[in-house]
Structure 1
Amino acid sequence: DAKVPEDSDMRGQWGRRPQETIDRANELLDNFAGMLAKRGLRVDRPTCIDHSLPATTPDFHTDSQFGCMPPRDVLLTVGHEILEATMSYRCRWFEYLNYRPLMQQYWNEDPNFRHEAAPKPRLTDADYHPDYLSEKIGVAKRLKWAEEKFFVTTEEEPLFDAADVLRFGRDLVVQHGFTTNLKGIDWLRRHFPDHRVHAVNFPGDPYPIHIDATFTPLRPGLILNNPQRRLPQDQRDMFERNGWEIIDAAQPSHNSPPPLCYSSTWLSMNVLVLDPKTVCVEASEVYQAEQMDKLGMNVIPVDLRDAYAFGGGLHCCTADVYRDGECEDYFPKA
């Protein structure tokens, strides 16, 4: 509950969400999928398991699970491979099962497809610092911890969520934070020896969970950065040496997240880039859409805010599987 604002109706909640919110979110996701299909994109959907059920392993028990709205958190596509992340939340341990039917389908369709799964972590108590999320700890101390790179997860075993990874051709930029530890980043480095793996962190975020509402590439040479969570200068050097511009994202249009949502208002910058000139922006995020327009992007407004509570925004709820193009080197100057 520590990540949830004190006045949020999400505090203390668990189990199945109200049916009307489920129906509304499904309606919005169906509309989004339909829009993408009309633009010529193939859209595959997961096969949902019942996430309201408890999850138990020999090492832990949790009374309910998470969901399958954000495949970006679980699946990482690199070249011909789709990698299942370890996941770092106990309630998300079995989430990969939603995507196994699709993985089998891709295996049957494409002889070059590689389906890989990172080692499943045990997620015992040794994986977490005790009392880290205590409500007695204020934001100032949490910001200091973030600056010191002291997070809730320990280095007991490799942990990473796929949504902490950004792909820049031959380079993978990985956020070190709550959901990805240094062992997880090292595991990715060993697993992808033909790629350069870079660890980054954002000291302005007291709860650094996933990178895609903090650091958003729009096209080669241009990145949006959350102005409250700026990339430290020493980590910007790689981008600046190679001619990349990092600009502040526009302010969110909302002062608070929607009901029963634990994500921040910065889902405003959780956009889906379809190509270097086309971007999907949540329809109510007028300031972000205006900024994209000024940057020369064709903006597609998409109504998704009422689905935020199920796991995120437009980038979160998608995971690209097949794209045209070659593996470029965007950072030739080391």
Structure 2
Amino acid sequence: MTEHSTSTAQGSERPVRVNSWNGWDPLRHVILGRAEGTVVQAPEPAVRRDYPDDGFPLGAYGPMPPEKVAEAEEQLDNFAAMLERRGIRVDRPARSTYQQVSTPEWAQDSMFGCMPPRDVLLTVGNEILEATMSYRSRWFEHLCYRPVLQRLFDGDENMCWEAAPKPRLTDASYKPGFWDVFNKLTTEEQLAR
């Protein structure tokens, strides 16, 4: 994303710039996530996962099954290749690793991964904003995208790069027992809340 020029499928050189003002112009450059390193997050105040059919009943967490990761990564690689054949530049984030994370105020038994860049990065005009995350498991996810953003920043003198303030996500940030009550509500009651 940040190199001064890139070859298109036709072989001509064009400058690479952060420049997204609407959703209708032809796509020229995209950041595509990675399935590798994606995990079912350990329980935390903001989220509880329950995927019993995939081997992760409520409270269970850990790396996604290797066959699912391989299938998803193959699909992402094929999608990237298709985009590149159409002259669209594709950047990928650094690989995420399953690990515990912590700040001075909390510890979390797992990260999440770096599959959905749209959750973390927002491009408006010549600015890329790193959004903050409300899950402890995703608090450091932005680091996977930093090498791509740094190259972009170094290669485009007009790019603005900002990061939203990070929330503390202490236990006081959450309503105790929220999920215990919420999961007993009907869908209509959940939506009303």
Pairing 1:46–2:61 present = no
Q: In structure 1, the residue corresponding to 2:179 is in which secondary structure?
A: coil
What are the Cα deviations for residues 173-195 of structure 1, in whole angstroms up to 9, with x where unaligned?
xxxxxxxxxxxxxxxxxxxxxxx
* Cα distance change of structure 1 residues 136 and 84 upon mapping to structure 2, 3 Å threshold: closer
Q: Deviations 1:9-40 (Å, cap 9, x if unpaired)?
A: 33233122222222222111100111111122
CA distance in structure 1 between the partners assigned to 2:168 and 2:54 by the alignment: 31
Tell me, yes or no, if structure 1 residue 21 matches structure 2 residue 68.
yes
Q: Which amino acid aligns with 1:35?
A: M
Q: Is 1:144 matched with 2:189? A: yes
Is the Cα contact below 8 Å between 1:82 and 1:114 reproduced in 2?
A: yes
Paired position in structure 1 for 2:113: 67
Q: Distance in 2 between matches of 1:15 and 1:6?
A: 13
Q: Which residue does 2:175 correspond to in 1?
A: 129
Q: Go from structure 1 to structure 2 and tell me whether the alpha carbon gap of 1:72 and 1:147 turns closer, same or farther (over 3 Å shift).
A: same
Matched with 1:91 is 137
Alpha carbons 2:121, 2:128 under 8 Å: kept? yes
**Which structure carries more relative contact order (alpha carbon 8 Å, separation 6+)?**
2
Contact between 2:182 and 2:190, CA under 8 Å: does it hold in 1? no
Structure 1 segment 219-230 matched on structure 2, within 5 A? none
Counterpart CA distance in 1 for 2:182 and 2:129 is: 38
- CA–CA distance in 2 between the matches of 1:131 and 1:143? 20
Q: Could you tell me which amino acid in structure 2 is paired with residue 69 of structure 1?
A: M
Q: Which amino acid aligns with 1:28?
A: Q
SS in 1 for 2:145: helix
Return closer, same or farther for 1:4/1:135 CA change in 2, 3 Å cut-off: farther
Tell whether the 8 Å contact from 2:121 to 2:131 is kept in structure 1 after alignment. yes
Distance 1:69 1:136 in 2: 27
Distance of aligned partners of 1:5 and 1:99 in 2 relative to their CA distance in 1, 3 Å threshold: closer
- Which residue number in structure 2 is paired with residue 34 of structure 1? 81
Cα 1:18–1:8, aligned 2, differ >3 Å: closer, same or farther?
A: closer
Aligned partner of 1:25: which letter?
A: A
Match of 1:208 in 2: none
State the distance in 2 between where 1:92 and 1:60 align.
Answer: 13
Match of 1:302 in 2: none
Q: Percent identity?
A: 50
Matched residue, 2:55: 9
Task: Note if contact 1:15-1:63 (Cα within 8 Å) is conserved in structure 2.
Answer: no
RMSD, aligned α-carbons: 2.1
Does the CA contact (< 8 Å) of 1:83 and 1:115 recur in 2? yes
| 1:181-237 Cα shifts (integer Å, max 9, x gaps) | xxxxxxxxxxxxxxxxxxxxxxxxxxxxxxxxxxxxxxxxxxxxxxxxxxxxxxxxx
Q: Would you say the 8 A contact 1:86–1:121 is kept in 2?
A: yes
1:73-131 Cα shifts (integer Å, max 9, x gaps): 10011111111111000000000000000110001111111110000111011221111
TM-score, structure 2 as length reference: 0.68
AA in 1 matched with 2:152:
Y
Give the ranges of 4+ consecutive aligned residues of structure 1 lying more than 4 Å apart after TM superposition: 5-8
| Unaligned stretches of 5+ residues in structure 2 | 1-42
Partner of 1:327: none
Matched to 1:75, the amino acid is: L
Q: 1:105 to 1:7 in 2, by over 3 A?
A: closer
Q: Distance in 2 between matches of 1:86 and 1:113?
A: 20
Q: How many Å separate the matches in 2 of 1:10 and 1:113?
A: 42
